[in-house]
Chains A and B, each alone.
Chain A
Amino acid sequence: DQQVKQNSPSLSVQEGRISILNCDYTNSMFDYFLWYKKYPAEGPTFLISISSIKDKNEDGRFTVFLNKSAKHLSLHIVPSQPGDSAVYFCAATQVGVSYGKLTFGQGTILTVHP
């Protein structure tokens, strides 16, 4: 049972444009969501997170939106840069319950073309 899903295995965008990565979850107990970026031969790097009490969180070029009723979150990158090319994972957890456990999606490969 895949509780966190990223239905797009890959996404290709032009430099300077917006990248939108999507993620759906099924477990309504999740109350904290995170996005990680991963380059080959490196571990995932934390990007941005959002609590279920919010519907939007911004950090520079990165914005995460949460739609609890639809159990959907998205990551917007504006403007996209070639250095953003990587695998992006969304993850979800239950604060105070799931010690150390993040449930990850399968990842989306983002390619930003110059």
Chain B
Amino acid sequence: KAGVTQTPRYLIKTRGQQVTLSCSPISGHRSVSWYQQTPGQGLQFLFEYFSETQRNKGNFPGRFSGRQFSNSRSEMNVSTLELGDSALYLCASSMNRDSGANVLTFGAGSRLTVL
């Protein structure tokens, strides 16, 4: 069973540009979440999507957005990049059972460097 796939793995952008990151969840997983990992802030929740709807959102500015497609694949976009957006962006998927907790399975991440 393939894991969570994130592309690209590494990318370099300059301030003011925008970036789009892609995530393919595990087959059968309908919930996709995004996280930002930085040395100073650790792992921070960005947002979660299920059935193409955003159900939960973290405390990030509106420059951070995402979407989910009908095949559960997801993209996140960061506009007007700032130096502080340099981070590892992690995507995670889960089965989203109706009851009980859902364990997140993470991808390897997309390493974004903003110059």
Contacts and interface: CB of A to CB of B under 8 A. Distances in A.
A110 to B, nearest CB: 16
Interface string A91-114: 101011011111111110000000
Q: Looking at A96, A99, A104, which has the most chain B CB atoms within 10 Å of its CB?
A: A99
Given A43-B4, A43-B109, A106-B42, A99 B104 contact: no
**Chain B interface bracket (under 10, 10 to 19, 20 to 34, 35 or more):** 20 to 34
Interface residues of A, number: 26
What is the predominant secondary structure among interface residues of chain B facing chain A? strand
Q: Which 10 A-B pairs have the closest CB atoms?
A: A100-B48, A43-B106, A100-B33, A104-B43, A32-B101, A99-B55, A99-B56, A101-B45, A106-B42, A95-B101
Interface string B93-115: 01010011111111111000000
Interface in A1-60: 32, 34, 36, 41-46, 49, 51
